[in-house]
Amino acid sequence: MNAPTYNFAYLDEQTKRMIRRAILKAIAIPGYQVPFASREMPMPYGWGTGGVQVTAAILGPDDVLKVIDQGSDDTTNAISIRKFFGKTAGVATTTSTMDATVIQTRHRIPEASLHAGQVLVYQVPIPEPLRFLEPRETETRRMHALAEYGLMHVKLYEDIARFGHIATAYAYPVKVNARYVMDPSPTPKFDNPKMDNCAALQLFGAGREKRIYAIPPYTTVVSLDFEDHPFTRYRFNAPCALCGADNSYLDEIVTDDRGGRMFVCSDTDFCEQRQAAGHHGTESAAPHKEKAHV
C-alpha cells in the first residue's frame, strides 16, 4: 500500500509556490479575487480549506500561530485547525492576539488592534460579493473588470426601501483601495472598520471557490453606504458579563427557557486579558432579561 508522507505544513513545496504567487498577485491588486488551483485538503470544504492553504503557504518554522472561530480559540474547528498545524508544521501556537505572527480566523476580527508584521488569514465561503445578485462567474468577473457596481447599490437601496435599513448584518460589502468591491467574509459588520488602514496584512482564502484576495497593510477599506444612510456598526447594548467591556462584540448566551440571556465577549482572548487586568462584569449577577418579544 502507498503509505502517505507529508511535507512541512502539509502542502508540497510546488503547491506552496503556486499559492504564494497567487498571494503576491492579490497583494498587488488589493481586493481583486485571484483564481488559484485549490487542493483537496484533509478537512472538508467549508471548514476553512482556503484559509488553511493560505496559512500553510506562508507559515515558517519561527511563526507563532493563533486560530479563532467565532472569535474564540476554543471552538471545535479552531482547535482542529490549530492541532493540524501543530502536527504537520510543529509551529508554536498561542491564544494571544498580541503574540501571534499569523492569525487564522473564521467570522471575526480580533478586538485588539493588530500590529505591523502580523498576518490575518480569513476563511472565506463565498468570495464573490456580487454572487447573490448575479450567480454567474463569467458575469461577475466582467462587472468587477468594469467596476460596474450599480447592482450592489440598488440592492442596498432596495433594503432601505423595504426595511428602512440596509439589511446586511454580516459579510457587509466593502470597497478596497477605492477600486474593488470585496466580501469581507462572514464577519459581523461590527468588524468592518477594523479592516480599514490596518497595520497587519489581511489575506483571504476561499478553498472551494478557488480564490485568494488580500488587503495590504494601511489600505483604505470603506463599507458601502449612502450619504443619508451612513454605515453603522451593531453590537448589543450591554457590557460583557465577564469583563465589563462595553466596546466589544458580544455573544448572546441563552441561560434558560424563560427569556434569560447573558452577553459575553465573542473574542475570548480579549475577554481573558481584561479579566486578568482586573476588569469584571456582573458575571454571577442575574442574567440580562430581554424585553418580552412583541
Partner 1 sequence: MYVAVKGGERAIENAHRLLAHERRGDRDVAEVTLAQISEQLALGVDRVMTEGSLYDRELAALAIKQARGDMIEAIFLVRAFRATLPRFGATEPVNTGEMQVRRRISSTFKDVPGGQILGPTFDYTHRLLDPQLAEGFVPEQPAIAEASQAATPRVTDILGRDGLIEPSPQADGDAPVGDLTREPLSFPADRDLRLQNLARGDEGFLLALGYSTQRGYGRNHPFAGEIRFGEVEVEFFAEDVGFAVPLGSIELTECQMVNQFKGSTSEAPCFSRGYGLAFGQSERKTMSMALVDRALRAGELGEEVGAPAQDEEFVMSHSDNVQSTGFVEHLKLPHYVDFQSELGLLRKLRQEFAEANEAVEMQEAAE
Where in 183-242 is the site for partner 1 (CB under 8 A)?
Answer: 186-190, 208, 210, 234-236, 241-242
Gap between the Cα atoms of 2 and 180, Å rounded: 46
Q: Which residues are catalytic?
A: 31, 240, 243, 265, 271
Q: How far is the CB of 293 from partner 1 (least distance, A)?
A: 8
Question: Per CB under 8 A, which of residues 106..165 are in contact with partner 1?
Answer: 106-108, 125, 135-138, 163-165
Total residues at interface with partner 1 (CB under 8 A): 73
3-class SS string, the chain: CCCCCCECCECCHHHHHHHHHHHHHHHHCCCCCEECCCCCCCCCCCCCHHHHHHHHHHCCCCCEEEEEECCECCCHHHHHHHHHHHHHCCCEECCCCCCCCEEEEECCCCCCCCCCCCEEEEECCCCCCCCCCCCCHHHHHHHHHCCCCHHHHHHHHHHHHHHCCCCCCECCCEEECCCEEECCCCCEHHHHHHHCCCCCEEEEEECCCCEEEEECCCCCEEECCECCECCCCCCCCCCCCCCCCCCCCEEEEECCCCCEEEEEECCHHHHHHHHHCCCCCCCCCCCEECCCCC
Q: Which is nearer to partner 1, 180 or 263 (CB)?
A: 263
Q: Answer yes or no whether residue 8 interacts with partner 1 by CB under 8 A.
A: no
Considering only 266, 270, 273, 288, the residue that binds partner 1 (CB under 8 A) is: 266
Work out how close the CB of 167 gets to partner 1 at its nearest, in angstroms, rounded to a whole number: 6
Please tell me the distance from the alpha carbon of residue 51 to that of residue 89, in angstroms, as a whole number.
Answer: 15
Radius of gyration of the chain (CA): 20
Closer to partner 1 by CB, 14 or 146: give it: 14
Q: Which residues in 242-261 contact partner 1 (CB under 8 A)?
A: 242, 249-253, 255
Closer of 192 and 219 to partner 1 (Cβ):
192
Of 219 and 281, the one with the shorter C-beta distance to partner 1 is: 281
Nearer to partner 1 by C-beta: 98 or 238? 238
Structure-block grid coordinates of residue 176: 478596497
Least separation in angstroms between residue 163's CB and partner 1 is: 6
Instruction: Provide the minimum distance between the beta carbon of 152 and partner 1 in the complex, in angstroms, as a whole number.
Output: 18
- In this structure, the number of other CB atoms found within 10 A of the CB of residue 41 comes to 18
User: What is the spatial distance between Cα 248 and Cα 273, in angstroms, rounded to a whole number?
Assistant: 13
Candidate list 277, 284, 286, 292; residue touching partner 1; CB under 8 A: 284
Report 46-105 residues binding partner 1 (CB under 8 A): 46-47, 49, 69-72, 74-77, 79-80, 83
Residue 97 vs 219, nearer CB to partner 1: 97
Minimum gap (Å) between residue 286 Cβ and partner 1: 11
Per-residue binder mask for partner 1 (CB under 8 A), 25-44, x = binder: ----------xxxxxxxx-x
Shortest CB 139 distance to partner 1, Å: 9
Q: Does 45 bind partner 1 (CB under 8 A)?
A: yes
